[in-house]
Amino acid sequence: MTAVTVTPQRRIGWSVANVVVLLYAFVPIVWIISLSLKGDDTLNDGNYLPLNPTSEAYTQIFSNTDFVRALVNSIGICLIATGIALLLATMAAYAIARLDFPGKQAIVATSLLISMFPQIALVTPLFKIETAIGIFDTWPGLILPYITFALPLGIYTLSAFFREIPWELEKAAQMDGATPYQAFRRVIAPLALPGVFTTAILVFIACWNDFLFAISLTSTNSARTVPAAMSYFTGATTFEKPTAAIAAAAVVITIPIVLFVLFFQRRIVAGLTSGAVKG
Partner 1 sequence: MSTVAPPPTDAVDPVDEADEGLAIARKRASEGRRAEQRLGLMLCAPAVLVMLTVAAYPILYAIYLSFFKADLRQPDANEFVGLSNYVTVLSSPIWWTSFGVTMFITVIGAAAELVLGMLLAIVMHRTIVGRGLVRTSALVPYAIVTVVAAFSWRFAWTQGIGWLAGDGAPLTDRWPSIWIIILAEVWKTVPFMALLLMAGLALVPEDLLKAASMDGASAWQRFWKVTVPLIKPSILVALLFRTLDAFRVFDNIFVLTSGSNETSSVSMVAYNNLIRGLNLGIGSTMAVLIFLTTAIIAFLFVKLFGAAAPGGSEKR
Partner 2 sequence: MRLRTLTGPGVVAVLVAALGACSGDDGGVPVINIYGSTADAGFEKVLGPCNEAAAGRYVIRPNLIPSDADSQREQFVRRLAAQDDGMDILGMDVTWTAEFAEAGWIRELEGEQAQAATEGVLQPPIDTATWKDKLYGIPRSTNVQLLWYRTSLVPDPPTTWDQVVQRSEELKSEGEPHVIGLTGAQYEGYVVGFNTILSSLGGTLVNEDSTQPTVDDKTVQALEILKSLATDGLASASLSNSQEPEVFAQLQNGEAAFAINWPYVLSAMREADPDVAEDLAWTKLPEFAEGTPAKATLGGMNYAISTYSKHPGLAFEAAMCLRNPESELNGALDAGNVPVLREVFEDPQFQEAYPMYEDILEEMETAVPRPKTPLYQNISTIVSSTLSPPSSIQPEDTAQALEEKIQDAIDGKGILP
Contacting partner 2 within 76-105 (CB under 8 A) = 76, 79-80, 82-84, 86-87, 90
273 is a site residue for partner 2 (CB under 8 A): no
Closest CB to partner 2 among residues 7, 220: 220
Residue 174's binding partner, choosing from partner 2, partner 1, none, with beta-carbon cut-off 5 to 8 A by kind? none
Residue 251 CB, nearest approach to partner 2 (Å): 19
Residue 10's binding partner, choosing from partner 2, partner 1, none, with beta-carbon cut-off 5 to 8 A by kind? partner 1
Half-sphere exposure of 111 (CA within 13 A, CB side): 23
Residue 222 CB, nearest approach to partner 1 (Å): 20
177 is a site residue for partner 2 (CB under 8 A): no
Residue 76's binding partner, choosing from partner 1, partner 2, none, with beta-carbon cut-off 5 to 8 A by kind? partner 2
62 is a site residue for partner 2 (CB under 8 A): no
Question: Could you tell me if 66 and 224 are in contact, meaning their C-beta atoms sit under 8 angstroms apart?
Answer: yes
Distance CA 173, CA 184 (A): 9
- What does the DSSP assignment read for 79-97? HHHHHHHHHHHHHHHHHHH
Give long-range contacts, CB 8 A cutoff, 24+ apart: 259-262.
260/201, 260/204, 261/201
Residue 19 CB, nearest approach to partner 1 (Å): 10
Residue 225 CB, nearest approach to partner 1 (Å): 11
Nearest by Cα to 248 from 64, 52, 21: 64
Closest CB to partner 1 among residues 72, 114: 114
Exposed, middle or buried, 111 (CB in 10 Å: 0-12/13-18/19+)? Answer: buried
